[in-house]
């Protein structure tokens, strides 16, 4: 009897045995190249982790700027120089803490930032020329970047010394994460303005982190994840080129963000395929010449959606396996989730265990001793080719629709991802897909677990700070700055310059976003299920 | 099926909406970023028998309470409110006390939600 292949997460066949015939006609020079050179299948750097491991970058932030500032100082005292800021939902959606829609959300999933007053507190005593700061902020990405620059200025740090990343990937918000504000066209224009501004003023800043992570969390398969992410990347590159920029002027500052699942083999194949596709697209479609423009550098976070509320300690094991997949796939930085993520925000102890997991991978295993350890493996090379082919097919469909934005407006990516999510739910319900502790190896009584709580008084505190700010500032200066911002938004001038003036005059995040909403409108999705 | 507040995670809400629809139950999905007022208004306009609220941002205590309060104000307390999301065990009893008929947590099978909705939404009495 011939054993049947098992479907991978992308629905591709995994054969019970692979041999040399799997790589018939496979040319290592064409498919792999050397590590650190085109097409970068084996990694973006020649030495990868043999010199130093990836950057361990743990996403954190909650409550008020004061509390988050204390957490960052603690991280820095422990040797971290890479901060990763989580903002609360009102900040991410461009609402002030005292807006009615913000009720109940202030400080919950991240820190509340309403104005430069909060930003100054967030980074108080943290020298911005000595840390690199990653900010998970998208639709209001320009505002938070400018607030960071303004606080740096107050500290006497010149903008050209600032390093870090804003996520700034609005297209995936329409597809998966849902924290969008403006419609796609003005959003893309704002992103092009950011690219130009950073090129001139903050040259070391990573201007965008093009993300598949959230699509994967919403249900995307590995092939869908990289296909839709790279298609978004292509849309951003086209936007910047159309705005008059030279591809090699901004492409080296593009970075990516993917998930790592427990399915190690396909994940490694996915990361390798993504690097190969991007290098080809940048060279062949956009004529990029700088090798840095061809490199797909990426951050990875372990898959939160694979974690379970049942027997949560089992998640420690899942995260270790997921983290291993990211490392074997050649990630540049990694966030490992805490085991209690499916229950609530991580506690100090669970956050520390998550970091320890990375340290075990980096310092106790031998996977860092050699570059791209899976290269030449029959199965991984075959799966790399298969995932690449599946992703290219999906990317071709997006192109046929006119590119990522047109496909988004037709609900294509979201529909594909939701179908995939529903299939996973059905497989889990039927037991066909095993989830340890959920549909197999369950226990009758779960142990009680006390999660971290955010103080609900934060909302009132933020509202009081806002009232004070509005009473205290030069309102005429704020009004004039917001009017100038609207004028730029109506025309073609870079909006970041008047936006910076408004924020410096202590306009709030909500006021700046509202001024832009008046000109650009808001995005209303066509949401079916 | 409704997404109150600013939380953009709609995978759970959409999967449940599809499962209920596939089971022959009529489902209306509000879309993201709805205020409690908008949700209650839509529920009354559509003459829905129940509201399923999905919250993963930690704002569930505030948002569920507001929806229930508004239903009472509109003399519509007979509409069954249930929900799910990232909701700590310790919050389930307070939610039930405020009138939430059932809270589903991560790992719940879709057919369990379907069975419960069939039994208790629109006339049934929660166990």
**pLDDT, mean of residues A28-53:** 96
Report angle CA A326, A330, A336 to the nearest 5 degrees.
Answer: 30
Which residues in chain A are closer than 8 Å to B32, comparing Cβ atoms?
178, 525, 527
Give the model confidence (pLDDT) of A427-444 as tens digits. 999 999 999 999 999 998
List, as ranges, residues 160-199 from A with C-beta within 8 Å of B. Answer: 173, 177-179
- Residues of chain A contacting B59 with CB distance shorter than 8 Å: 104-105, 108
- Spell out the domain ranges in chain A: 6-430, 458-520
Contact call for residues A302 and A335 (beta carbons, < 8 A): yes
* Backbone phi, psi, residue B55, to 5°: -135, 125
Test the B interface: residue of A213, A446, A529 with most B CBs within 10 Å: A529
> The tokens of A262 are what?
């427990």
| Spatial distance between the Cα atoms of A383 and A376, rounded to a whole number of angstroms | 11
Closest CA in chain A for residue B64 = A104
Burial (Cβ within 10 Å: 0-12, 13-18, ≥19) of residue A524: exposed
- Please check whether residue B11 touches A, CB under 8 A: yes
Maximum CA pair distance of chain B?
Answer: 34
The reply to whether A155 touches chain B by the CB within 8 Å rule is no
- What per-residue confidence (pLDDT) applies to A71? 84
Residue B95 placed within a domain: yes
Contact (CB<8Å) A108/B59? yes
Residue B58 is nearest to which of A100, A109, A179, comparing CB atoms?
A109
Smallest Cβ–Cβ distance between B88 and the set A179, A344, A428 belongs to: A344
Q: Does B28 touch chain A (CB under 8 A)?
A: no
By C-alpha distance, the chain A residue nearest B3 is: A178
Question: From B37, which residue of chain A is nearest by alpha-carbon distance?
Answer: A101
**CB-CB: which of A100, A308, A429 is closest to B111?**
A429
- A421 and B8 in contact by Cβ < 8 A? no
DSSP letter (8 states) at residue B34: B
- B88 with A451: Cβ contact below 8 A: yes
Share the mean pLDDT of chain B: 93
Position A2 scores a pLDDT of 61
Q: Do B106 and A309 touch (CB under 8 A)?
A: yes
Nearest alpha-carbon partner for A337 in A314, A310, A307, A361: A307
Q: Is A421 on the interface with B (CB under 8 A)?
A: yes
- For residues A128 and A160, the answer to whether their CB atoms sit within 8 Å is no
Cα–Cα distance, A55 to A50 (Å, whole number): 13
Q: How far apart are CA A211 and CA A129, in angstroms?
A: 26
| A174: closest chain B residue by CA | B8
Contacts of B61 in chain A (CB under 8 A): 104
Number of domains in chain B: 1
Q: What is the reported pLDDT for B126?
A: 47
The pLDDT assigned to A227 comes to 98
What is the chain A residue with the closest CA to B31? A527
Percent of chain A predicted with pLDDT > 90 = 87
Q: What is the rounded average pLDDT of the residues A251-278?
A: 97
φ, ψ at B80 (rounded to 5°):
-75, 125
Question: For residue range A335-371, what is the model confidence (pLDDT) as tens digits?
Answer: 999 999 888 778 888 888 999 999 999 999 999 999 9
pLDDT at residue B123, rounded to an integer: 58
Contacts 24+ apart (CB under 8 A), A376-379: A376/A28, A378/A18, A378/A19, A378/A20, A378/A22, A378/A23, A379/A14, A379/A15, A379/A18, A379/A22, A379/A265
Work out the average pLDDT over A251-258: 96
Is B4 among the domain residues?
no
Q: Averaged over A195-221, what is the pLDDT?
A: 96
**Which residue, among A62, A104, A347, would best test binding to B if mutated, counting the most B CBs under 10 Å from its CB?**
A104
pLDDT at A513: 98
Chain B contact present for A308, CB below 8 A: yes
Q: Residue holding tokens 């829609």?
A: A101
* pLDDT, tens digit (0-9, with 9 covering 90-100), for A359-406: 999 999 999 999 999 999 999 999 999 999 999 999 999 999 999 999
B81 domain residue, yes or no: yes
Its domain, for residue B48, covers 11-120
Q: Under an 8 A CB cutoff, do A93 and B6 touch? A: yes
**CA torsion sign, A245 to A247 to A252 to A257?**
positive
What is the dihedral sign for C-alpha A398, A403, A405, A407? Answer: negative
CATH of the domain at B84: 3.40.50.280
Which CATH code fits A6-430?
A: 3.20.20.240
Integer-rounded Cα radius of gyration of chain B: 13
The pLDDT value recorded for residue A53 is 93
A89 vs B: CB within 8 A: yes
CB proximity A76 to B under 8 Å? no
Cα A90 to Cα A258: distance, rounded to the nearest angstrom: 25
Residues in chain B predicted with pLDDT less than 50, given as ranges, are 125-127
Answer yes or no: is pLDDT of A1 > 60: no
Chain B neighbors of A93, CB-CB under 8 A: 6, 33
The 10 Å CB-count burial string (b at 16+, else e) for A23-50 is beeeeeeebbbebbbebbbbbbbeebbe
Q: How confident is the model at residue A421 (pLDDT cuts 50, 70, 90)?
A: very high
Segment A134-161, tens digit of pLDDT: 999 999 999 999 999 999 999 999 999 9
Asked whether the beta carbons of residue A421 and residue B33 sit closer than 8 angstroms, the reply is no
pLDDT for the residue numbered B127: 44
pLDDT of residue A74: 82
Assembly ipTM: 0.89
Helix (H) or strand (E) holding A135: strand A132-136
Helix axes B36-46, B60-73, angle to 10 degrees: 50
Longest dimension (CA), chain A: 82
* A348 vs A35: which has the higher pLDDT: A35
pLDDT, position B124 = 52
* Token reading at A118: 């909060």
3-class DSSP state of A183 = coil
Whether residue B127 is contained in a domain is answered as: no
Mean pLDDT across A308-332: 96
Distance between CA A194 and CA A141 in Å, rounded?
9
Please state the separation of Cα A149 from the chain's center in Å.
21
Q: What is the mean pLDDT of chain A?
A: 94
SS3 call for A247 = helix
Beta strands A13-14; A6-7: pairing state: antiparallel
Establish if A428 touches chain B: CB-CB under 8 angstroms. yes
Beta strands in B20-79 (DSSP E): 50-55
Locate tokens 């505030």: which residue?
B62
> A308 and B109: CB-CB below 8 Å?
no
Beta bridge partners of B104: B84
Structure tokens at A236: 């951003």
In chain B the first and final C-alpha atoms are separated, in Å, by: 21
- Contact A309/B33, CB-based, under 8 Å? no
Is B26 in CB contact (< 8 Å) with chain A?
no
Judge: A178–B8 Cβ closer than 8 Å, yes or no: yes
Query: Which of chain A's residues have a Cβ under 8 Å away from the Cβ of B110?
Result: 425-426, 429
């Amino acid at each position: 009897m011939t054993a049947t292949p098992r479907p991978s997460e992308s629905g591709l066949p995994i054969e019970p045995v692979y041999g040399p015939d799997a790589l018939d006609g496979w040319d290592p020079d064409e498919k792999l190249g050397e590590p650190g050179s085109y097409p970068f299948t084996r990694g973006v750097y020649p030495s990868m982790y043999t010199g130093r491991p990836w950057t361990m970058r743990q996403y954190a932030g909650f409550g008020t700027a004061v509390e988050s500032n204390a957490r960052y100082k603690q991280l820095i005292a422990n040797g971290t120089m890479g901060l990763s800021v989580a903002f609360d939902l009102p900040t991410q959606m461009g609402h002030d803490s005292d807006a009615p829609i913000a009720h109940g959300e202030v400080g919950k999933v991240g820190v509340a930032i309403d104005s430069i007053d909060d930003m100054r507190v967030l980074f108080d005593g943290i020298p911005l020329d000595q840390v690199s700061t990653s900010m998970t902020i998208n639709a209001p990405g320009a505002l938070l970047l400018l607030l960071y620059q303004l606080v740096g200025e107050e500290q006497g740090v010149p903008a050209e010394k600032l390093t870090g990343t804003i996520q700034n990937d609005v297209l995936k918000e329409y597809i998966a994460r849902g924290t969008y504000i403006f419609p796609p066209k003005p959003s893309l224009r704002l992103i092009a303005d950011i690219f130009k501004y950073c090129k001139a003023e903050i040259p070391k800043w990573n201007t965008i982190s093009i993300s598949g992570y959230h699509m994967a969390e919403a249900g995307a398969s590995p092939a869908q994840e990289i296909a839709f992410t790279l298609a978004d990347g292509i849309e951003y590159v086209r936007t910047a080129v159309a705005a008059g920029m030279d591809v090699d002027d901004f492409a080296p500052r593009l970075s990516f963000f993917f998930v790592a699942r427990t399915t190690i083999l396909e994940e490694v194949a996915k990361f390798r395929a993504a690097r190969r596709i991007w290098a080809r697209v940048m060279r062949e479609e956009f004529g990029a010449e700088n090798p840095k423009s061809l490199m797909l550098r990426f951050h990875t976070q372990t898959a939160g959606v694979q974690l379970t509320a049942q027997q949560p300690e089992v998640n420690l094991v899942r995260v270790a396996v997921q983290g291993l997949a990211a490392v074997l796939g050649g990630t540049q930085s990694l966030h490992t989730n805490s085991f209690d993520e499916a229950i609530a925000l991580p506690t100090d102890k669970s956050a520390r265990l998550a970091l320890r997991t990375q340290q075990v991978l980096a310092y106790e295993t031998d996977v860092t001793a050699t570059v791209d350890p899976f290269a030449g493996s029959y199965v991984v090379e075959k799966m790399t080719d298969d995932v690449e082919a599946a992703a290219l097919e999906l990317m071709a469909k997006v192109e046929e629709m006119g590119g990522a934005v047109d496909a988004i407006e037709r609900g294509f990516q979201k529909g594909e991802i939701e179908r995939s999510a529903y299939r996973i739910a059905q497989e889990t319900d039927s037991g066909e897909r095993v989830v340890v502790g959920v549909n197999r190896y369950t226990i009758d009584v779960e142990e009680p677990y006390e999660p971290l709580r955010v103080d609900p008084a934060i909302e009132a505190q933020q509202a009081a700070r806002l009232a004070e700010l509005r009473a205290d500032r030069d309102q005429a200066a704020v009004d004039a700055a917001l009017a100038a911002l609207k004028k730029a938004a109506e025309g073609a001038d870079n909006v970041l310059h008047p936006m910076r003036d408004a924020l410096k005059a202590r306009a709030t995040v909500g006021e700046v976003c509202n001024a832009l909403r008046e000109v650009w409108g808001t995005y209303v999705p066509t949401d079916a299920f | 099926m409704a997404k109150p507040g600013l939380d953009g995670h709609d995978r759970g809400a959409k999967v449940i909406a599809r499962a209920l629809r596939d089971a022959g139950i009529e489902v209306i999905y509000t879309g993201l970023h709805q205020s409690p007022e908008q949700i209650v208004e839509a529920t009354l306009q559509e003459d829905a028998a129940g509201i399923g609220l999905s919250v993963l941002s930690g704002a569930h205590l505030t948002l569920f309470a507001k929806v229930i309060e508004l239903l009472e104000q509109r003399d519509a307390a007979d509409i069954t409110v249930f929900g799910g999301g990232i909701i700590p065990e310790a919050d389930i009893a307070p939610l039930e006390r405020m009138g939430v008929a059932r809270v589903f947590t991560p790992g719940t099978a879709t057919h369990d939600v379907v069975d419960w909705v069939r039994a208790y939404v629109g006339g049934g009495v929660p166990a």
